[in-house]
Amino acid sequence: MKYVVLDLEMCRVPKKLMTDKYRYNMETIQIGAVLLDEEYNVEKKFSTFIHPEYGRMDSFIEQLTGITRKNVYDAPYFKEALESFVHWLPEEDVSCVSWSKTDRDQIINEMQAKGIENAVISSLAGSWIDSQELFGDKMNTDRQYNLEEALIASDICTEGRAHDGLVDAYNTALLFAKFMKDPNYKLNDIYTMARVEEVDHLSVSMGDMFKRFNLQLVVL
């Protein structure tokens, strides 16, 4: 079994542009994906920008993702991007992984709204793996942590800009691989201290703990 780790970036759809056909407030503008082999090593990568049909590239999205109007202007539409993604997938059986099921739901909803049918994507959606849920199990909590927190807690050093689809897919792949390869997985010591304080409902938050830790590193 191989695993394809996927991340979507999206733009906002203004209310005035929502219709009975497309009633969702987000639309995909990038698909990033990383294929892991049977031993959870990175085998290959995929990335494509997507031209939005309903959404708008505003300054907030451009600053958050680094994706510009120029990047998506001549990009393929969602249907063609999905077809390229499916063509990139290996012939072997794969399971799809993402940081949360938000990306799965976005793909399903967008396909339905745009009248797209794809048996491969539908099959992947039925066996989707939620890494955010896996991390919650490791933390023994129902709280939904973000990807950055999980990477820090897992002592995974990352490169690249967050909210780039390929970068986030790659970092999620590193985290998922660690879950699967390391039966003795545990949080780093600093995060463990922060976790104890959070559980005990003390005044210091985990964010404050990391700020203090970073400050100490600078001072030293």
Q: What is the pLDDT of residues 33-68, one digit of tens each?
A: 999 999 999 999 999 999 999 999 999 999 999 999
pLDDT score at 183: 76
Half-sphere exposure of 29 (CA within 13 A, CB side): 27
| Sequence-ordered strand ranges (E) for 13-156 | 26-36, 42-49, 94-98, 129-130
Q: Which is higher by pLDDT, 72 or 211?
A: 72
Burial of residue 11, with CB atoms counted within 10 A of its CB: 0-12 exposed, 13-18 middle, 19 or more buried? buried
Highest-pLDDT range among 115-124, 137-146, 154-163, 207-216: 115-124
SS3 40: coil
pLDDT digits (tens, 9 = 90+) for 166-203: 999 999 999 999 999 987 777 777 666 666 666 555 44
- Strand order through the sheet with 26-36: 42-49, 26-36, 2-12, 94-98, 129-130
pLDDT score at 218: 38
pLDDT score at 139: 79
Q: What residue ranges do the domains of the chain occupy? A: 2-181, 189-219
pLDDT score at 198: 62
Compute the distance between CA of residue 142 and CA of residue 198 in angstroms, rounded to an integer: 14
| Whole-structure pTM value | 0.85
pLDDT digits (tens, 9 = 90+) for 131-175: 999 998 887 778 888 999 899 888 888 878 899 999 999 999 999
- The fold for domain 2-181 equals Nucleotidyltransferase; domain 5 (3.30.420)
pLDDT score at 17: 87
pLDDT at residue 114 is higher than 50: yes
pLDDT score at 207: 54
Work out the mean pLDDT of the chain and round it to a whole number. 88
Greatest CA separation for the chain: 59
